[in-house]
A and B are shown apart, each in its own frame.
Chain A
Amino acid sequence: MTSAADKARTAAAGRAAGPSAGPWRRALARLRRNRSAVIAAAGLLLIVLACVLAPVYAGAVARTDPFTSNASGTAIVDGQRVPVLAQSTEGLGLGVTPIGPTWDPGSYLLGADNQGRDVMARLLYGGRNSLLIGLSSALLCCAIATVLGVVAGYFGGWIDAVLSRFFDVVWAFPVYLLAICLSVVLLTSGLHLGPIHIDAGSLALPVVIIALIYVPYVARPLRGQVMALRDKEFLHAAVGLGASDLRIMRREVLPNVLPTVVVFLPLMTALNMLTESALSFLSVGVQSPDASWGTIINDGLALLYTRPAITLAAGLCVGLTAVALNVLGDGVRDALDPNARLRGGA
């Protein structure tokens, strides 16, 4: 299996050789002809646009602040003014039941959560966070992984041995558990590492944590690719011309692994967004009063049987976005580097 994959990868690397714009433009043309990828991209654009416009919706349409509790608020349903939160009539009479979906965009389109906040507005704001964390952690992860993968693959020797053993350990460690360990510790104290200071409640914390845990997923395949490149003539030629290691890595190696990184980016964004939502669901991701789709699913858990719209809507948002990202990612893979494989083959 390995040798065949290596051969294919070498071939792919050979095809992408040279930093000209040609292969990229050809790949884009191929991607445009892929109908499901185009549909996924359009859907994704729509979702992103909706989330970007969250303040517009909250301010101008729903006229509500989705971050402060609104226990005594009211909404207009069928021309009648009703309280947003009603004393629960089911069960033991403890707790409150928020109003359900009104299907009126101006007033609690999808109902309220247990603090009387507008679910639709929170969904859009939560989407901003989910997408932002997903994308920025994917970017950070790919950046770190590219540097480590290229360095390990290019230099080999003890540098490679150390980095590879490190990848192995993190690889064998279930990602969620690792993320939980990091989150639990950093959530109590924030991150203070040299010049980097991140507060405990900051959104940057989940970004960093999620980016770190997935580094081996991306770095390992890249390292293998660079190893295969090392034996190529054009690298020997560059060495023969007396180019410095840094220059060779930047000018010769990087352009050859970049297509793979680009393939991984949408797939990692989907994976990271799902991880964020899972961590937030476990209450070690995005911290209140900030919202993400994961925290909204968690909020809706207690109201699952009475007000399922909260959880259903948030979950559908995560699922649809992830489907769109994965379909797009598959399209990019087919267009750019059909042999690129993350762990899990996804």
Chain B
Amino acid sequence: MIGYILRRFGAAALVLFAISVLVFLIFFATPGVDPAARIAGKNADPATLEQVRASFGFDRPLPVQYLMMMKHLFVTHDLTSFVNRGTLVIPQIVEAIPVTLSLVVGAAVIWMVLGVAMGTLAGAMRGTLIDPLVMLLGVFGVSLPVYWLGEVVNLLTQKQLHDSVFSWVPPLGYAPLSQGVGQWALHLLLPWLTLALLYAGIYARLLRGELAGALNEDYVRTARAKGLSERRVLLRHALRCSLIPIVSLFGLDFGALVGGAALLTEVVFGLPGVGKLTYQALQNLDLPVIMGTVLYAAFFVVLANAVVDVVYARLDPRVRRA
């Protein structure tokens, strides 16, 4: 097991390195415009351009440029935004990280709990009304744009029904944990639910399919023949095995969430996280900020993937030796 963990994190480090090279090449080696002009932003004056060239070493070979870039990002933390004259990028990101983590971790917990509960219910009660409902939610989960759903939620809770049903909903924005767990959770509740609902639908549908397959497996018949209760057969045997592919998918989706849906959710709900930061940087093409947020997000994604894989190995004895 220890060996597996070490190997897995070694692989994660390699992937991170590859991603950083990929991002670096996209930003600095894409043919077309002088990268310094890209970094400096639209209509930069010659002095700024000169400053950018010196700071990123654009007169030196690519590997050196890469190393200088990484140094700015992860060692000296002095990557500077030229669009927002002289703002340091990394402190902004560090400040935004707790917001994003609050959003995605909370949403992920809700989505897994809800998804597993609904999927198990649908799998155990095939032929009842719950089953098609879960299937429908699953289709919506892959089809509705999450940011649009967020806007509809905002429209209802902040405007249309704000004076009646939803008077308890606080204005858009984030309340740090220092204001109390209650306020923190209250501000995040609707973003969590919006994000979690779609994913819960997808996962419930997937789990239902897995469970339906598992319930036809020989080992379930053996478990029944052992005289176990139907509940134990369902939860300890069928569900336990069905969760394995679900968990491996969770690793991938959690990463996609950090870098994708959460970004859009933050924008819609006005949460000052890494996603919102990226969004603002996109509006004025502030490349250093984008580069910083992308690499920091990628770091969390790859880390999350590795952690999930280790959990996965705990769940499935067959992969430990592989």
Q: A residues touching B (Cβ–Cβ < 8 Å)? A: 1, 165, 168-177, 180-182, 184-193, 270-271, 274, 277-278, 281-284, 294, 297, 300-301, 304-305, 308, 311-312, 314-315, 318-319, 322-323, 325-327, 330, 343-346
Contact = CB atoms under 8 A, between A and B. Distances in A.
B282 A189 contact: no
Contact of B256 (A168, A175, A182, A186): A175
Contacts of A168: 15
A188 B142 contact: no
Contact of A174 (B26, B143, B256): B256
A189 B38 contact: yes
A297 B33 contact: no
A interface: dominant SS: helix
Contacts of A304: 151, 154-155, 159
Contacts of B134: none
B173 interface: no
A327 B285 contact: no
Given A185-B27, A305-B159, A180 B151 contact: no
Interface residues on B, range: 35 or more
A283 B282 contact: yes
**A-B complex: 9 closest residue pairs judged by Cβ atoms:** A174-B259, A189-B32, A315-B148, A176-B260, A322-B143, A189-B33, A177-B259, A169-B18, A323-B143
B264 interface: yes
Contact of B298 (A174, A305, A318): A174
Interface stretch (B61-69, B91-99, B176-184, B247-255): B247-255
B294 A181 contact: yes
A173 B22 contact: yes
25 contacts: A1-B244, A165-B18, A168-B15, A172-B302, A174-B255, A174-B260, A176-B259, A176-B260, A177-B259, A177-B297, A180-B278, A181-B290, A182-B26, A184-B285, A184-B290, A185-B26, A278-B260, A301-B268, A311-B155, A312-B152, A315-B149, A323-B139, A325-B143, A343-B252, A344-B202
Contacts of B252: 171, 343-344
A315 B301 contact: no
Given A180-B290, A326-B142, A175 B260 contact: yes
Interface of B: 15, 18-19, 22-23, 26-27, 30-33, 37-38, 139-140, 142-145, 147-149, 151-152, 154-155, 158-159, 202, 206, 209, 244-245, 249, 252-253, 255-256, 258-261, 263-264, 267-268, 278-279, 282-283, 285, 287, 290-291, 294, 297-298, 301-302, 305, 316
B160 to A, nearest CB: 8
Contacts of A171: 252
Contacts, number: 165
Given A174-B260, A345-B202, 18 more contacts: A165-B18, A168-B15, A175-B259, A180-B290, A181-B23, A184-B287, A185-B27, A186-B30, A188-B32, A188-B37, A192-B31, A278-B147, A278-B260, A311-B148, A314-B148, A315-B145, A322-B142, A326-B139
Contacts of B149: 315
Contacts of A187: 285
Given A297-B145, A319-B143, A282 B282 contact: yes
Contacts of A191: 32
Contacts of A305: 155, 158-159
B41 to A, nearest CB: 9
Contacts of B209: 345
B19 A188 contact: no
A311 B279 CA distance: 19
A277 B151 CA distance: 14
B279 A172 contact: no
B260 A177 contact: yes
Contacts of B27: 181, 185
Contacts of B290: 180-181, 184
Nearest to B154: A304
Nearest to B241: A1
Nearest to B162: A305
B155 A326 contact: no
- Chain A CB count within 10 A is highest, among B26, B37, B142, B294, for B142
Contacts of B155: 304-305, 308, 311-312
Nearest to A176: B260
Contacts of A311: 148, 151, 155
A278 B287 CA distance: 19
A181 B38 CA distance: 12
